[in-house]
Amino acid sequence: MCDTCGCGEGRRRTIEVNQDILRANREIALDNRRHLDSTGTIAINLIGSPGSGKTTLLERTIERLGRRFRIGVLEGDIETEIDAERIRKKGAVAVQLTTGGACHLESSLIHRGLHELEGRLDGRRLDILFIENVGNLVCPSFFELGEHLRVVLVSVTEGADKPLKYPKAFRTSSVFVITKADLIPYTDFDIKKATEFALSINPSLETIVTSSRTGDGIDEWVDLLIKARKRTP
C-alpha cells in the first residue's frame, strides 16, 4: 500500500500538465499594444537592476522632450511613491504601480495604470509612455507588457559581465543603455567587453553609453526615442 495516497502501488506517478502560464499575461499585453497603437502612443519598457539609473535617465529625458511630447510614466516598485513623485516634479504625468512584493510588472497592472494615466489627461492623448519596471534583471524579461521598445540598463558600477549572467534581459531587448559613464574612472568597467558580451547574446542590440550627470550620450538616447516615435503606427 502506498503510504501517501493509498493507491495500492508502491511507486509515484507523474502527471504532466502542459499549460502556458504566461498566456493570460500575453493576451492582455496584446490588448495593451492595440490600445496604444490606436492612440498613436509609443511605449518604452525600461528594465534594470536597482540603482541602474532608470529614474534619473527618465528625469533627463523629460527635461529634453517634455515640451515637445506629452509624456506619461508608469512607475513600478514593490512599495512607496518615491520615484513617481520625482517624475511629477519634472512635469510628466506619473502613476505609481506598487506590486506589494512581486519582482516585476505584469500586463494587467499596465492596463490599469494606463487607464489611470489617461484619466488624468482629460481626453488628451499620450505621445510617449515610459514603463519603469521593478528593479530586477531577471523576472521583468519574461513578461510582455505591450511595449513597442524594451530597453535594458546596466550601470558601470554593476560590472561588464551582466549580459552573460542575465542573457534573457538582453535577448528580449532592442536597446542596451550603459549608464553612469562618468564613474568609469573609478571602476574596472570595460565598455568594449560589455558591448561584445551583449551582442553575443543579441546581435541586433543598439548600445548607447550615457551619463545623466554630465549629459554624455543623452542626445543619442533622445534621438533614438524620436526616431522610434516616428515609426509608431
Domains and CATH numbers, the chain: 23-230 (3.40.50.300)
- Give residue 15's identity as a one-letter amino acid code: I
Q: Which helix (H) or strand (E) holds 150?
A: strand 149-155
Task: Name, in order, each residue with C-beta under 8 angstroms of 125's C-beta and a sequence gap of 6 or more.
Answer: 39, 40, 41, 70, 118
What predicted TM-score, i.e. pTM, was given to this entire model? 0.89
In 3D, which of 173, 221, 233 has the Cα closest to residue 61?
221
Task: Name, in order, each residue with C-beta under 8 angstroms of 119's C-beta and a sequence gap of 6 or more.
Answer: none
For the chain, 233 residues long, give each residue's pLDDT as a single digit of tens: 344 444 444 556 555 544 566 899 999 999 999 999 999 999 999 999 999 999 999 999 999 999 999 999 999 999 999 999 999 999 999 999 999 889 999 999 999 999 999 999 888 899 999 999 999 999 999 999 999 999 999 999 999 999 999 999 999 999 999 999 999 999 999 999 999 999 999 999 999 999 999 999 999 999 999 999 988 76
